[in-house]
Amino acid sequence: MINCIKDGTSYKEYGVSVSVKHGKSETVLFFAIDSNSNNRSNFRDVINTTVICDLLVYYSTDAGNKKICLVELKGKDVEHAADQLIETKEKTENLLKEKRYRNVIWKGLIVHRSSAPRQQKPELKRKLDYAFGRENYRMVHKMKYDLGDFIRN
């Protein structure tokens, strides 16, 4: 994971960016885990998958709240982005369970430039509801997204 850590708390790919400003009692770490955009990453091999999202954001507070937000930045193909989030979550969650790292809240975020076709949205929502829970994922159509409110709630 050390090869994946990013300086700062922002990330940009495909003309889409995500960022967060952390408060005093918070820790926020960005990990660029996709070897297609970070050639030093071996995370794909660690979790044994061919499908992986772009970014893993670790968030914790001094009070002990821990969250992992998986992020996929897309120009288009939101359906594939959902598959990437779900596969990365399942494989990473299994790895962390083996390491006895429990009580983590999982979140998923797709930030994209193009709107998804209407007929795909209900199916995508069902898949993401099942994987993350209704309040723990978002699909947003923006060029820049501040994930602060999403990751904190």
Residue 149: predicted pLDDT: 96
pLDDT of 128 > 70? The answer is yes
Residue 106: predicted pLDDT: 95
Q: What is the DSSP letter of 28?
A: E
Positive or negative torsion for Cα 135, 110, 49, 33: negative
62: which residues sit within 8 A by CB, 6+ positions away?
A: 25, 26
pTM equals 0.91
Please, which pLDDT band fits residue 121 given cuts at 50, 70 and 90? confident
Residue 4: predicted pLDDT: 87
pLDDT of 9 > 70? The answer is yes
User: What's the CA gap between 29 and 53, in Å, rounded?
Assistant: 16
Which two structure tokens, joined as six digits, stand for 9? 């708390």
Q: Hey, what amino acid is at 86?
A: I
What are the tens digits of pLDDT across the range 16-52? 999 999 889 999 999 999 888 877 888 888 887 889 9
What are the tens digits of pLDDT across the range 71-114? 999 878 888 999 999 999 999 988 887 666 678 999 999 999 87
Positive or negative torsion for Cα 107, 77, 52, 4: negative
Residue 76: predicted pLDDT: 81
Please, which pLDDT band fits residue 127 given cuts at 50, 70 and 90? very high
